[in-house]
A and B are shown apart, each in its own frame.
Chain A
Amino acid sequence: MLKKIWKYLSSMQFAILLLLILIVSCAIGSFITQGQTFEWYKEAYSERAAALIIATHMDDLYHSPWFLVIAGFLIANLLLCNLIRAPQLFRRFKDEQKIDKALSESVTCSFHSVDKPGPVFAALSMPKPVKAEADGKKILFSSSNRIGLWGAWICHLGVVLLILGFGLGQMTHEDYSLYGVSGQSKQVGDTSYICSIDSFRVELRDDDTVSQYRADITVHDSLTGNSQAAEISVNHPASLFGYKYYQNSTGWAARVSVIKNGSLLQETVLCAGESLTVMDLPELILHFNALYPDYVFIDGRGPASASGALNNPAYLYTLYYKEQLLGMNVLMEGETITVDDYEFRFSEPQNYTILQIKRDRFTALAFAGGILTLLGIFLAFYLQPRKVWAVQENDGSWTVSGLSIKSSALFREQMEQAIQRSQNSNT
């Protein structure tokens, strides 16, 4: 029984079944929006569908236990297949250059009464044939592309490393996000690193489209006191203290001043989406909703921005007192909001940067797997092993034979053409 299970687990039949399940699962996962709640699916589909999606983990299909089990089975299948095939392949690899083996094998095609076999080998781009003798007959033998025998094996190994690298990376990776304006410093997640945003600029083209987002950052290790600095932009991340820093996104920020009875009470830079709690009246909260750099009011649509340039900045805010909505409006540059003794003012609109900080120790393993997969596919498809040998008959003519297991029809045709060319050159 165990032997049967072992055999099935390593079989191609099982591999095909797993691949088909993966195909169907991946396709389903692409149609169902991932990472949503029961309520969201209920709204989008129906209550019954939502219950089914949650129960079968299709809301996070690619990380679901059953998907991981399938990936695990695929790794086991490919490893077992490679393990079983390795000694066999190694033997075949050695035998590829043995003349006696070739003579005893069934051939793809054979041609009799060939006058000169030399040009046939050349026409087939075979290496220079080796001379030998068997049963008193002269033999010319050549074999090529035997490394191609390992193609599928290497490809399988590559896929295994790729899945392992990806899976281990998913399990162990660290992923942080950080945002701020020039001059701000923030801790990177729960690490000992402090990231300072030295400067951040959005580079625009003449037509107002963004050409690049660029940030200069310095990272300080609070444990050792060491610092490392780098410039990062989209497509150009930097590696600092083993973490990769990516220029991910951007948004608008502004300076908010709170004035009480004519004197400055507090001042801070708020990014859109952040709130400010008034120092001596914590029940009073100002929420900075959005910034319109080139403010226009469109009938039927409301506030909008005519362009990305800071031509006419306006700030959308909401005020709360004791968790009750006091008001929501758009404030222009220089205008103030007054609530009893307090005045609020927005100024210095500027872009803030969103950085992504990652560490994945298994990326290299996954990429090595990818390279091996590519190499394996190339070897399997484009370096197919072939053997050609010629045996001199008693009448002095030669019998030329060839063997290519894969693409035998093409090989036969190539041999026919080579023989034809050789015969024509003789006449």
Chain B
Amino acid sequence: MLKIENTLFTAVMLLYFASMILYFVFIAVKNDKLSRVAILLQAAGLVLHTAALICRGIGAGRLPMTNQYEFATSFAWGLCLVSLIFTYRFKFPMIGAFSAPVIFLIIGYAAMQSREVKALMPALQSNWLGFHVSTAIIAYGAFGVSFVVSLIFLLREKMQDRSFWDRHVPEKEKLDLISYRSVCLGLLFLSFCIISGSIWAERAWGSYWSWDPKETWSLVTWLIYAVYLHLRIRRGWKDRSAAWFAVIGFICVIFTYIGVNTFLPGIHSYK
């Protein structure tokens, strides 16, 4: 099973890479057909990615969500899933175009991690593991979409060739709305993630909150997006400023995931 997973993982990387290149070409030559093929490649990548995760799960005899490699590949899967849903929901292929490099970077990071399957330590043997990590994956994916949409928002203003952007990128109000909706989804799932993690920590470690760096940075991320939502209500903070805040929020998400494990080891540092 793990050999099949290895092969599928390579195929997924190639598909995501091809999709990213096609998106780039689509933006360069402004050919709509290319964007449709790129979306199809991304969707095919997602299907194989799902199969790869299932194979890993069967091969390891548990949910593939417990080390840096498994979480990175799941993170890329979540971002790809949420970006395709938003692309379809809002008929907006540029989400895919801007998500593709981020997905490729994350899966590239996964490829650099050890793929060794290790048995779970007792603290990780809990039914809460699947719920806690999968909610984090969806939350991170949604925040990733909000990040790319905000980037599009900020770039839209700078573009000189307006006709292409006007045709493929919705008006600012809608971009702001998509970013807002993805932050809402992300915040809801991040809340699920934090609360389920607390319940689990209470059972495993006897303390539902220990100010571990991962916990603290999840709270920081939650607070940043809470500020984003409150600022949007205040006049003058929608649009550009909110877009910048969504970008900062995602940088924080990445730090919570990679930075904390690298620089601030704690009880969440499962290598």
Binding site for B on A (CB under 8 A): 12-13, 15-16, 19-20, 22-23, 26-27, 29-31, 34, 62, 166, 205, 207, 209-213, 233-237, 244, 246, 248, 356, 358, 363, 366-367, 370-371, 373-374, 377-378, 381-382, 407, 409-410, 413
Contact = CB atoms under 8 A, between A and B. Distances in A.
11 contacts: A19-B230, A26-B217, A26-B223, A166-B209, A212-B125, A234-B125, A237-B203, A358-B206, A377-B191, A381-B188, A410-B177
A409 B227 contact: no
A-B pairs, 3 with minimum CB distance: A234-B122, A381-B184, A246-B206
B72 to A, nearest CB: 21
Nearest to A213: B122
A23 B227 contact: yes
Contacts of A29: 211, 216
B31 interface: no
B206 A30 contact: no
B125 A374 contact: no
Contacts of B108: none
A370 to B, nearest CB: 4
- Interface secondary structure of A, over-half rule: helix
Interface of B: 118-119, 121-123, 125-126, 173-174, 177, 180-181, 184-185, 187-188, 191-192, 195, 198-200, 202-209, 211, 213, 216-217, 219-220, 223-224, 226-227, 230-231, 233-234, 260, 264
A212 B122 contact: yes
A209 B119 contact: yes
A13 to B, nearest CB: 8
Contacts of B173: 409
Contacts of A244: 206
A363 B208 contact: yes
Contacts of A370: 195, 198
Contacts of B174: 409, 413
Nearest to A166: B209
A234 B204 contact: yes
B171 to A, nearest CB: 9
Given A29-B211, A207-B119, A235 B203 contact: yes
Nearest to A34: B211
Contacts of A15: 230
Given A30-B216, A211-B122, A378-B188, A237 B206 contact: yes
Contacts of B188: 374, 377-378, 381-382
Given A233-B122, A366-B208, 13 more contacts: A15-B230, A19-B226, A27-B220, A62-B211, A210-B122, A356-B206, A367-B199, A374-B191, A374-B195, A378-B188, A382-B184, A409-B174, A413-B174
A210 B121 contact: yes
A377 B122 contact: no
A235 B177 contact: no
A358 B216 CA distance: 23
Contacts of B185: 381
Contact of B126 (A211, A213, A235): A235
Contacts of B213: 30
Nearest to A378: B188
A214 to B, nearest CB: 9
B202 A26 contact: no
A374 to B, nearest CB: 5
A28 to B, nearest CB: 10
A101 to B, nearest CB: 22
A407 B205 CA distance: 42
